[in-house]
Copies of this chain bind each other. A is one copy, B any other.
Amino acid sequence: MAAHIVDQRTKALQKPATEIILRTHTEPSEDLAQERKRATFDVQELSYALNGGKEMLDKKHRFAEILAKTTWGDKSRRYFLTREEEYVGGLRAALGIWEKIKSEGLSLEDGALMRSLVDFPGGLELHIGMFIPSIMSQGSKEQQAKWMPLCMGLQIIGTYAQTELGHGTFIRGLETTATYDKQTQEFVIHSPTLTATKWWPGGLGKTATHAIVMARLMVEGPDGRMKDHGPHGFIAQLRDMDTHLPLPGVTIGDIGPKLGFNSVDNGYLSFDHVRIPREDMLMRFSQVTPEGRYVPPPPSNSKASYATMVFVRADIVKNAGSTLARAVTIAVRYAAVRRQTAPAPGERELQNCAATLLPLLAAAYALTFMGDAMMAMYRQFEKDRDRGDFSALPELHALSSGLKAVCTWITADGIEEARRTCGGHGFSRLSGLPTLHQGYVQNVTWEGDNNVMCLQTARYLIKALAGVRSGKAVSGSADYLNAAASELAPGARSPATCDACWEQPDVAGGALRHAAARATAAAAETLLAAGGGRLAFEGKPWNDNTVESIRAAKAHCAYVLHRTFLDSLAALFALDTLERGGGLAALLEDGFVGASQAAALRRCHRQLLAALRPNAVGLVDAFGLPDYLLNSALGREDGDVYRGLLDMAAASPLNATQEGPAWEGVLKPVLAAQPRSRL
């Protein structure tokens, strides 16, 4: 083993070699400054607009600083935690924020902002997000009076147990039963099959002491026969308050690691004839009387629950925008300093990635505006509802279903696309992108599988078109169907006569509108053919033709998304959707777009990319995402990405010792056993 001497002669020898290297070497940190100079708009003004004003933006950054200094908000070891550490850490963070809100008298909005910044979901998610809201919305006055103080004082921690091993989206298929025993005035909660085991509820595994259990209510009817009244909610205590051990007859556990979200203890739960008092069925809308008479809910109830869904989905759409914004911020900033696979030495990667990243950037803006628009629609609906007007609900429900699907698809796939533009370093957790994607992809499944969501929208669109054709006009986002006859007339042509024409909102949007109308008409046609002349929204005709229906829902949502924001980003979003979403094929097929127009569309698409290129970094800066939130070596605002990777890697658990955890027990017996010949 040679001694290591770095004498003057060695340094002198190395000097000219180093000079050769430094001739082509560049420091990454100046790159972003250059890029920022190229922006052709006022980044700060846009940032204020996107963040709800200067005050809100400042508050976000102030909170980020405060949280980074707390023990539970510090993120320096976030990517190195074991499953157990993640679980405990997520809980500590949730309790820390809860405490801060109480001690500093912060608003719920401030609390939500802190939770989004700490970005560490834990065992309290469903206590806050489902247990409390359900008691407020479905509990009787008496039940709210009894349970809310216990919830707000954290005397109990609740979760919401609906999904079962064998039954997810199809709620009517739930197998857990709640059988009323009028002799003791109790419900017997029971899991009659293995597939009736509750599976997935967050916080259920090791945290929650109570749960709202969705179970099929069974009550003996006047005829003495047991009657199934379908799924209802019951408040059940699961764990002993002093020992935290499961109560007798209750089996609980953690369901194991997931693709992401591992700080949450998603759990399983089964019941062996567990009795709860009659009073603990959620009784606001339907009741079981002491003597065992079932009182069904009023019809308006279903409408109310629809409204809740609309709110949740509007929130999902908004979240899709902010999540995609995070991914695009990281990828664009890194591409602006990266020279790895640049075609020519010295050139930056952003040149190569523009065709991928700029459309994603446009989509992030589209989703952000759409989320705001949906919230506004929901607020308006609330006003109408309080006047007893539910007329907007069907459209809201249909629109929110499709948008939930399309927006979460765009974001889930967009994060991965953005990650791939980062090359090898995008595969490192230190880039922040793997964790972001793994935590996000569940959104395409939960709150209604995306394909199922699209089918709900399609059903609405096809019915609306049928209505229009029988003289019944449709209002709201699908109002363009009123003109379907002329829109889809054989002679209908896109007005585009030049490349730049495709930048015009009415041309690009018109193409999306036409594609949407056409897709709905095509789906209706297929359905009519399958149904032997009548529209069947269930059974074989419907189930065998879901592809067309889903295509219609997607086309409709793309058009609606485009309508929500109008500028060059919007045009790029539209053209990219047409080119990659396959919409262009449909437009060529029915002759709305001719060959030369399609060629012009593609040229325009390229020109837009070139035009937007200088604003790429400015547009991501405008999202105003603190480094604390991004927690990414590649997405750092200062662009010093390589130092960032080195600094973050130092904390890797494998680096705790120089020789590593395998030396003593595994490697040494093999290597040290060998003769040392020349080594």
**Interface pair A423/B168, CB less than 8 Å apart:** yes
Candidate in A190, A243, A426 with the most chain B CB atoms within 10 angstroms: A190
A253-271 residues at the B interface, CB under 8 angstroms: 253-260, 265, 268
Candidate in A343, A345, A651, A672 with the most chain B CB atoms within 10 angstroms: A343
C-alpha gap A218/B92 in the complex (Å) = 55
Residues of B within 8 A of A660 (CB): 87, 205-207, 244, 254, 265
**Interface pair A207/B155, CB less than 8 Å apart:** no
**Interface pair A273/B6, CB less than 8 Å apart:** yes
Tell me whether A22 and B192 are in contact in the complex, defined as CB-CB below 8 angstroms, given that A150-B677, A679-B237 are known contacts: yes
A620-679 residues at the B interface, CB under 8 angstroms: 642-643, 645-646, 648-655, 658-663, 665-668, 670-672, 674-677, 679
Q: Does A66 contact B (CB under 8 A)?
A: no
Please report whether the interface of chain A is mostly helix, strand, loop or mixed according to DSSP.
mixed
Considering only CB atoms, which chain B residue lies closest to A270 in the complex? B646
Residues of B within 8 A of A387 (CB): none
Residue total for A at the interface (Cβ-Cβ under 8 A): 176
State the copy count for this chain. Answer: 2
Residues of B within 8 A of A54 (CB): none
C-alpha gap A200/B579 in the complex (Å) = 36
Which among B442, B675, B679 is the interface contact of A427 at CB below 8 angstroms?
B442
Q: Does A84 contact B (CB under 8 A)?
A: yes
Residues of B within 8 A of A676 (CB): 241-242
- How near does chain B come to A279, taking the closest CB pair, in angstroms? 11
- How near does chain B come to A94, taking the closest CB pair, in angstroms? 10
Which among B95, B166, B344 is the interface contact of A339 at CB below 8 angstroms?
B166
C-alpha gap A258/B432 in the complex (Å) = 10
- How near does chain B come to A282, taking the closest CB pair, in angstroms? 18
Q: Mark A1-20, 1 if CB is under 8 A from B, else 0.
A: 11110100111011011101
**Interface pair B192/A449, CB less than 8 Å apart:** no
Considering only CB atoms, which chain B residue lies closest to A659 in the complex? B244
Q: Does A49 contact B (CB under 8 A)?
A: no
**Interface pair A341/B654, CB less than 8 Å apart:** no
Which among B167, B444, B654 is the interface contact of A206 at CB below 8 angstroms?
B654
18 new A-B contacts at CB < 8 Å, known A166-B339, A255-B430, A257-B428:
A2-B276, A4-B248, A14-B192, A79-B256, A95-B670, A157-B667, A173-B340, A194-B646, A241-B671, A241-B679, A254-B655, A256-B428, A256-B430, A347-B543, A424-B446, A582-B582, A584-B585, A589-B595
**Closest A-B pairs by Cβ, 4 of them:** A206-B660, A4-B248, A254-B654, A585-B585
List, sorted by A's number, 10 A–B pairs whose CB atoms are closer than 8 Å.
A11-B273, A22-B193, A25-B175, A87-B660, A163-B424, A259-B419, A341-B452, A344-B543, A352-B543, A355-B547
